[in-house]
Amino acid sequence: MTMAEISVFSTLFGFLLAGLWGRSLGVGLTNFITITAMAISTAASAWLFYDVAVLGHPQTHMLGTWIQTGGLDIAWALRLDALSTVMMLVITSVALMVHVYAVGYMHHDASPQRFMAYLNLFVFCMMMLVTADNLVQLFFGWEGVGLASYLLIGFWHEKPSANAAAMKAFVVNRVGDLGLALGIFAVYLHFGTVQFDALFAALPSVAGQVVSFAGYTLPVYDFVALLLFVGAVGKSAQLGLHVWLPDAMEGPTPVSALIHAATMVTAGVFLMCRVSPLLELAPLAQQVILLVGMATALFAATVGMTQFDIKRVIAYSTCSQLGYMMMAVGVGAYPAAMFHLFTHAFFKALLFLGAGSVIHALSHEQDMRMMGGLRTVIPWTYRMMLVGTLALSGIFPFAGYYSKDIVLESLFASQGSLAYLSYGVGAFVAFLTAFYSWRVIFLTFHGKPRADERVMAHAHESPAVMIFPLLILSLGAIGAGYVGYEAFVGHDREAFWQGTLAVSQTHDVIEAAHHVPAWVKWFPLEVAALGIALSWFFYRYNPALRRRLVDGLGAVYRFVYNKWYVDELYNFLFVRPARALGRFFSSGVDAGVIDAFGPHGAVALSQGIGARLSRFQTGQLPFYGAVLFAGASLVMLYVIVRGAWV
């Protein structure tokens, strides 16, 4: 077994062992097995990261043939290059911490074995996704993480709301997957392969070709890129297909941290970076990506301002941060997108696990209106959450500062009116982010306790098994930006990425980003500070003014609070019509038309004729048989005569 196989498949073994025999193995042994599998995978990934990305030895391990027929040749393979090993490092390190945390968090649950098994399954699928050497294996991992997400959101399957959220996540993701699948088909049609290297080599062959599509013509590059992007919109919860992510918070909190913040939702960004050579040839698609990213960042940040469920606020902030990453992709700043993905994984996982610790302390209370004053009750959680929040709001020298700044600088540096607009929106979102993330801190930890006394009496700091992962992740939230800067987006970036991320021939955005005016670099930090100050003002200093403001904004506030009514819109546009159509087809068409004119009609007709022609209508079956046979014989005669004639 090679190191690559160990890193990917150890969690598959963990999943099978824990999933099949978890019940008889017991909780302790299952925890041991799944965490060991995870630790082995992490160690192997770290070694591979060192070997591949640091020492510069990219490699591809062929495992076997998957689908091979009629010119299609799809392999099972593990592709290790700078891009995939960075992802592996992020996935395994966060996942290991989440596994350890889950031991404490799920301690009181009825079936923690099943939970740990699903976590292992998720990691396996995610690793298959990022190490895929072709688009179809990527699709395998892509749908696999979707399945794991479905299973984990609906983990508490006796809860109807959890089941609804799980199903919503799967179905909405499937809409995106539909786009990705069509993108894969289009890649095969136009480039004759689905393997990445062959695809990139074949890119020049379709230069100038167009696809006619519903009256429009699009260059092949843009057409294919947009289809693939639809998949990314679904998985990375971009505006339009974002509706599943907030609901996904029905799952246990470790899941939210791992899947719906740090790893799975970034798969869309990863996919876009993976096909960056294609995107570089698709300027129209890039503009669409930039616009969608911008809209997502803005939309999610506004909604995040108004929510009271602590996990939903963080979920919307994830959505918003993914918008940042997509914006970076849209201007061709792939290293910046990956850098933000990297740092975000640590501080967002930290924030979610911190929120989980709060929820754990308050006997599963998630509403921030029922919190407050927890600073002294759960001091360690408070400190860790502070670190995460500082990182999220982009305060120097925390991780988010470095990555968010390079994203915004790249936006500015890419030039053009759309780019400047996106910089402005990005800076505004940075302001909103600082505001709502500190709102969480103030509402949760400061002020007087609003929980009832019984809950407060039980409130306690989480056990060491939960605090330890927070400490490790907070190291990432503090240091990941500073440590990674030079390699990801600084002077060493070309040596580090080894050509896995495309760089525009005419305009190297990242290089240009280093030479933007000083105010461009300072502005995001200034608005973030302003956001924190305003948050303090409204939530600590003068809450009465805030309430008056909310009342005054009335309709606007309700619009934002109700998440721009997107769910209601979709319900009206898709869900209810689908049901109505189904009912109409079922009783109206199938029974009402096809059966009525088909078999029932034939019976009625023959009964009518039979009643007139025949007096002894006792057995029906022989009679119909006879009618049928006579009719068929006539047809037969006709055909034979005609056939001989022709």
- Asked whether the beta carbons of 323 and 297 are under 8 A apart, the reply is yes
Pick the closer one to another protein by CB: 526 or 590: 590
Q: Which residues pair with 65 in a beta bridge?
A: 75
Q: Does residue 573 interact with another protein by CB under 8 A?
A: no
Residue 284: CB minimum distance to another protein, A: 19
- Token pair, residue 507, equals 């305009």
Residue 54: CB minimum distance to another protein, A: 32
Pick the closer one to another protein by CB: 69 or 505: 69
Q: Does residue 26 interact with another protein by CB under 8 A?
A: no
Q: Does residue 576 interact with another protein by CB under 8 A?
A: no
Q: Does residue 642 interact with another protein by CB under 8 A?
A: yes
**Contacts (CB under 8 A) with another protein, residues 588-617:** 589-591, 594-595, 598-599, 602
Q: Tell me how far CA of residue 345 lies from CA of 49, 162, 210, 443, 464, in angstroms.
A: 17, 24, 38, 24, 22
In this structure, the number of other CB atoms found within 10 A of the CB of residue 422 comes to 27
Pick the closer one to another protein by CB: 395 or 602: 602
In this structure, the number of other CB atoms found within 10 A of the CB of residue 637 comes to 10
Q: Does residue 158 interact with another protein by CB under 8 A?
A: yes
**Contacts (CB under 8 A) with another protein, residues 434-473:** none
Q: Does residue 571 interact with another protein by CB under 8 A?
A: no
Residue 303: CB minimum distance to another protein, A: 25
Please calculate the CA angle 457-463-466 and round it to the nearest 5 degrees.
Answer: 125
How would DSSP label each residue in 411-473? HHHT-SHHHHHHHHHHHHHHHHHHHHHHHHHHHHHSSS--S-HHHHHH--PPPHHHHHHHHHH
**What letter represents residue 623's amino acid?**
F
Among 6, 46, 167, 418, binds another protein (CB under 8 A): 167
In this structure, the number of other CB atoms found within 10 A of the CB of residue 299 comes to 23
Q: Does residue 25 interact with another protein by CB under 8 A?
A: no
Residue 545: CB minimum distance to another protein, A: 44
Nearest alpha carbon to residue 364 among 249, 267, 478: 249
- What is the C-alpha to C-alpha distance for residues 493 and 53, in angstroms, rounded to an integer? 11
Q: How many residues does the chain have?
A: 646
Q: Does residue 24 interact with another protein by CB under 8 A?
A: no
**What letter represents residue 566's amino acid?**
V
**Contacts (CB under 8 A) with another protein, residues 40-79:** 64-73
Stretch that binds another protein, among 134-142, 412-420, 471-479, 511-519 (CB under 8 A): 134-142
Q: Does residue 186 interact with another protein by CB under 8 A?
A: yes
**First-residue to last-residue Cα distance in the chain:** 68
Residue 92: CB minimum distance to another protein, A: 21
Q: Does residue 635 interact with another protein by CB under 8 A?
A: yes
**Contacts (CB under 8 A) with another protein, residues 72-131:** 72-73
- What is the C-alpha to C-alpha distance for residues 321 and 297, in angstroms, rounded to an integer? 6
The site for another protein, by CB under 8 A, has a size of 73
**Contacts (CB under 8 A) with another protein, residues 187-216:** 188-193, 198, 202, 205
Residue 243: CB minimum distance to another protein, A: 14
Among 6, 29, 46, 182, binds another protein (CB under 8 A): 182
- What is the C-alpha to C-alpha distance for residues 428 and 571, in angstroms, rounded to an integer? 31
Pick the closer one to another protein by CB: 73 or 309: 73
Q: Does residue 181 interact with another protein by CB under 8 A?
A: yes
Q: Name the one residue in this structure whose structure tokens are 């993905």.
A: 341
**What letter represents residue 411's amino acid?**
L
- Token pair, residue 153, equals 């959101």
Pick the closer one to another protein by CB: 553 or 640: 640
In this structure, the number of other CB atoms found within 10 A of the CB of residue 229 comes to 31
Stretch that binds another protein, among 143-151, 298-306, 353-361, 547-555 (CB under 8 A): 143-151
Q: Does residue 553 interact with another protein by CB under 8 A?
A: no
Nearest alpha carbon to residue 96 among 481, 402, 478, 476: 476
Residue 133: CB minimum distance to another protein, A: 15
Instruction: Decide the pairing of beta strands 210-213 and 72-80.
Output: unpaired
Among 45, 48, 77, 143, binds another protein (CB under 8 A): 143
Contacts of 248 (CB under 8 A, 6+ apart): 149, 153, 165, 169, 256, 259, 260, 315
- What is the C-alpha to C-alpha distance for residues 384 and 17, in angstroms, rounded to an integer? 34
Residue 189: CB minimum distance to another protein, A: 5
- Please compute Rg for the chain using Cα positions: 29
Q: Does residue 632 interact with another protein by CB under 8 A?
A: yes
Residue 197: CB minimum distance to another protein, A: 13
Q: Does residue 136 interact with another protein by CB under 8 A?
A: yes
Pick the closer one to another protein by CB: 255 or 384: 255
